[in-house]
Amino acid sequence: MLLVATLAALTSLVVGSAPARGQTDAGADAAMPDAATPDAPTSLDGVGSQDVAAALDAAAGATDDAAVADAAADPNHLVAADFTLGVSLDGGKTFVDRTKWASVFNRAHCECNSEVLLRVTIAASGRGKLPSTGGTLSAYLHPACVSSDEATRTAAFDRQLCTPVASTNDLGQTAHGATPYVQVDKFKMQALFASPAVLTDGGVPADAGAGSSEAICNQQESRRLYLAIDRREPAGPDQTGADAPALDFPVDGKPPAAPTALTVEPTRELLKPSWKVVTDPTIARYVVFCAKSTGEVAYPQSRLVQGYELASDVCPGQIAAPAAARGSQAIEQHQRDYACGEVTHPKASLDLEGLSNAGSYVVAVAAVDKSGNIGPVTPATTSALIVTRDFFNDYTTKGGAATGGYCAIGGGQVRAGLMALGLVSALIAMLRAARRRRAFRARARKKEST
């Protein structure tokens, strides 16, 4: 209770006496200009509103401990588990399973500013706690809208931060009807990536321009949809502060760091790149890129490495693929034609087989996190296979006319090899001839004795 009183006092210092919702006085206007006014700050963190932001952020999660204890004993007390959040990228035709949300709220979809639809469904456990009719539910993106401090809620509504993104005026009927869900408005992905501190008119971030997508998308946090439920309207939210049900969804547009200490071990048959893994719990796999030193792809056929997602994959008509590049530059752009293989974390090596003996290769590695974000590649390393030569081809190239062939590892002299082969063959022939002579003589002696 002391915390609530302190927060209320802080808020009153900033906004003056707490006016009724929809009403403001001169003090409130001076501290928090109307968000609809052109010259008004559009962010709680904007110039002239730092004190307001501090008051709202601090008070948003304040909880009356006694009220929470009372609510815990209430069999009709609603919790986050009484609701489920659905996510759709196709306007509600299909909803993505929660285990795959990471691949939805990732950097590629953020850079494309993909349209996403959210849906709040009242679970069976929640339906059993609600009356058959009456009550309201509103969903907000800003925590101040469900603050346990009434003055903080009033200040947030006065700043127009609490226009609901979804609502129903008859929660009971919705809960017990054929479709027990509340449809949330469609959002652009960057609106959901944006911090609540940059909410603008209506409690929803304005569409960010392409130039600012880097700052907005480079986030790795959990966002929340706060539910204000009123079963005793117009008394206000039944549960506030940390006691208000809130549905989390992750946003992750922050690419992982590059692996380190890349080395490439050449052998007679393959290249074996190895690296030091990235110490990050979000890492899922590593993609190895390679190219011929001449800039051509190492493998004529695609290796079908699909473990990462680029904006040019998600919205090719909106974000074009990088300009045509070859070799190291193409690798830095994560071009798929140069992706030569992948391994799951924490494995830290890969055998690159089926490469040509001719020439050398450029190799680099990048980490991919569980959201499909790919990080920068390591500094490229150049290496060549240890040359393997076919003895017979080498022999005929130097003028040999005999048919047939034998394989030998390159490095010896062909002439010396032929001489050794000839000596061995002659020795074998001599031994066989000597054996035949001994056998002939033995048969002759046996015949004479008879």
Q: Could you report the per-residue pLDDT of 50-105, keeping only the tens digit for each?
A: 344 444 445 444 444 554 555 557 888 999 999 999 999 998 899 998 889 999 99
Closest residue by Cα to residue 215 from 198, 235, 236, 232:
198
For residue 182, list its beta bridge partners.
Answer: 120
Q: What are phi and psi for residue 444, nearest 5 degrees?
A: -65, -45
Asked if residue 188 lies in contact with residue 207, where contact means CB atoms within 8 angstroms, the answer is: yes
| Residue 160: band (very low, low, confident or very high) from pLDDT cuts 50, 70, 90 | confident
Please name the residues in contact with 77: beta carbons below 8 A apart, sequence gap of 6 or more.
Answer: 71, 129, 239
| Residue 410: band (very low, low, confident or very high) from pLDDT cuts 50, 70, 90 | very low
| Arithmetic mean of pLDDT, 245-259 | 95
pLDDT of residue 26: 32
| Residue 399: band (very low, low, confident or very high) from pLDDT cuts 50, 70, 90 | low
| Arithmetic mean of pLDDT, 104-133 | 93
Consecutive H or E run containing 435: helix 414-449
pLDDT of residue 41: 29
Quick check: helix, strand or coil at residue 266? strand
Consecutive H or E run containing 155: helix 150-158
pLDDT of residue 53: 42
Which of 188-192, 286-290, 321-325 has the least mean pLDDT?
321-325
Asked if residue 284 lies in contact with residue 346, where contact means CB atoms within 8 angstroms, the answer is: no
Radius of gyration of the CA atoms of the chain, in A: 36
Copy the structure tokens of residue 190.
């960057």
| Arithmetic mean of pLDDT, 166-194 | 88
pLDDT of residue 166: 86
| Residue 246: band (very low, low, confident or very high) from pLDDT cuts 50, 70, 90 | very high
Amino acid at position 34, single letter: D
**Cis peptide leading into residue 259 (ω within 30°):** no
Which of 113-127, 130-144, 206-220, 278-292 has the least mean pLDDT?
206-220
| Residue 21: band (very low, low, confident or very high) from pLDDT cuts 50, 70, 90 | very low
| Arithmetic mean of pLDDT, 408-423 | 57
| Residue 38: band (very low, low, confident or very high) from pLDDT cuts 50, 70, 90 | very low
Copy the structure tokens of residue 15.
């906004």
In a 10 Å sphere around its CB, with 0-12 CB exposed, 13-18 middle and 19+ buried, how is residue 373 labelled?
buried
**Is pLDDT of 243 > 90?**
yes
**Is pLDDT of 16 > 50?**
no
Asked if residue 370 lies in contact with residue 278, where contact means CB atoms within 8 angstroms, the answer is: no
pLDDT of residue 17: 33
Amino acid at position 45, single letter: D
Distance from the Cα of residue 449 to its chain's centroid = 95
- Alpha carbons 340 and 323: distance in angstroms, whole number: 20
Q: Can you tell me which residue has the tokens 């074009």?
A: 320
Task: Write down the architecture of domain 260-384 according to CATH.
Answer: Sandwich (2.60)
Q: Read off the pLDDT of residues 346-373 as tens digits, 9 standing for 90 and up.
A: 999 999 998 888 789 999 999 999 999 9
pLDDT of residue 262: 97
Q: Read off the pLDDT of residues 302-334 as tens digits, 9 standing for 90 and up.
A: 677 878 999 988 998 887 667 778 999 999 999
What is the chain's mean pLDDT, rounded? 77
pTM of the predicted structure, to 2 decimals: 0.69
> Which residues make up the CATH 2.60.40.10 domain(s) of the chain?
260-384
